Amino acid sequence: MDGCALYCTHTVVLWGNTRQFGMGIDLNVEIHERAVCESSAVGTGTRIRAFSRILAGAVIGEACEICDQVLIENDVIIGNRVIIKSGVQLWNGLRIGDDVYIGPNASFANDRIQPNQPLITVLDRNCTVGTNATILPGVRIGRHATVNAGAVVTRSVPPYAIVAGNPARVVGYDDSVRPTLPRAENPVVAGDDPKDIVVPGVRLLRLPQFQDMRGALVPIEFTRDLPFVPVRCFNVFGVENKRVRGEHAHRTCHQFLISLTGSCRVLVDNASVRQVIRLSSPTQGLYVPPMIWASQHHFSPGTVLMVLASHPYQPDDYIRDFDAYCNEMSV
């Protein structure tokens, strides 16, 4: 039998809503006759293939592709142009943005349940979840992020990040959506020409070093060597390689980052230009002005990252959501 013939080709009543389905006519939604769709909230142009089941409370956007043997529970909201490949189960509490791709047999765990309600798991727009990846409940996959095949995601993934492994860790950042940027896999390395920094306002500064037979010394004259006078200092250490620190911007606070021992990579982003810079020497520091999104990852064992700040700790000075940050930058 021609596969097209398996799709309904007449007006179908779905729980009170009348819609046209089928091949060869003006389509709103295509539902395979061997699929069960109990929801009436399915957007125009969406295709639901054989042996899939959509429960009544699910909300599905326009032009989505729901492949064979997919289960979608009641408390699931799916955006537009989402592709869900075969063998995927979407449990209560999932929120999926526009243009998301979910690969075959990706697994969304739902074993940790809050009283009377599921944990909310969010897949932001344009993110990708690879084949056989496992996503634990309550995490957020940032926009344009990629979860590699087989990865086990136990904590939220930053926007544009590429994660792999079990547990998943950041292995790079995707610059394909911004093709003019330097590739994150080839970061600017401390010791390179500071002019290689492309994010406006961010600077890589050299610090004076004095060395003799007794060892080395790197002094910092706050009023001479730094773009601001620090009022606070803190050290970041004991960070596992798979962990990501930072993931925020400051509205008013200036920061200066120095890798005292070991190395790490620092992502800086102004919502239109993004770059990864490697810090690996106490003789260089990275100046991060206000309203620059920054995160640190790829910590080598034993790394101690010192951060000098221009202001005391002020919770209201932080912007911790990347979409909110982009919105503020666009005002």
Q: What is the CATH number of the domain that holds 236?
A: 2.60.120.10
Same domain, 209 and 264: yes
Say how far apart CA 28 and CA 50 lie, in whole Å: 18
Q: Which residues of the chain have pLDDT under 50?
A: 1-26, 177-191
Q: What six digits make up the tokens of 301?
A: 């064992």
pLDDT on residue 175: 58
In a domain, 34, yes or no: yes
User: What's the CA gap between 219 and 257, in Å, rounded?
Assistant: 15
Q: How many residues does the chain have?
A: 331
Same domain for 99 and 46? yes
Q: Are 159 and 10 members of one domain?
A: yes
List strands edge to edge, sheet with 169-173.
29-31, 46-48, 65-66, 83-84, 101-102, 128-129, 146-147, 161-164, 169-173
Q: What are the residues whose beta carbons fall under 8 Å from the beta carbon of 33, sequence distance 6 or more? A: 6, 7, 8
- Residue 180 covered by a domain: no
User: 22 and 63 share a domain?
Assistant: yes
pLDDT for the residue 331: 60
Q: What is the pLDDT of residue 228?
A: 94
Give the pLDDT score at 194: 59
Q: Which domain holds residue 10?
A: 3-173
How many whole angstroms separate alpha carbon 269 and alpha carbon 319? 13
Is 232 contained in some domain? yes
DSSP-assigned beta bridge partners for residue 48: 31, 66
Say how far apart CA 220 and CA 201 lie, in whole Å: 21
248 is catalytic: yes
Same domain, 147 and 274: no
- Domain check: are 167 and 192 in the same one? no
Residue 14 counted as domain residue:
yes
Residue 182 inside a domain? The answer is: no
Query: Do 21 and 159 belong together in one domain?
Result: yes
User: What is the C-alpha to C-alpha distance for residues 66 and 96, in angstroms, rounded to an integer?
Assistant: 13
Question: Collapsing DSSP states into helix, strand and coil, what is residue 299?
Answer: coil
The pLDDT score that the predictor gives to residue 114 is: 57
pTM: 0.66
Same domain, 248 and 156: no
pLDDT of the residue at 9: 34
Same domain flag for 135 and 241: no
- Choose the catalytic residue: 32, 248, 254, 297: 248
Instruction: State the DSSP string of 39-71.
Output: -S-B-TTEEE-TT-EE-TT-EE-TT-EE-SS-E
CA dist list (Å): 88 to 4, 37, 153, 247: 23, 16, 16, 30
The Cα–Cα gap between 66 and 31 comes to 10
For the chain, what is the domain count?
2
* Rounded Cα distance, 288 and 227, in Å: 10
- For residue 109, the domain's CATH number is 2.160.10.10
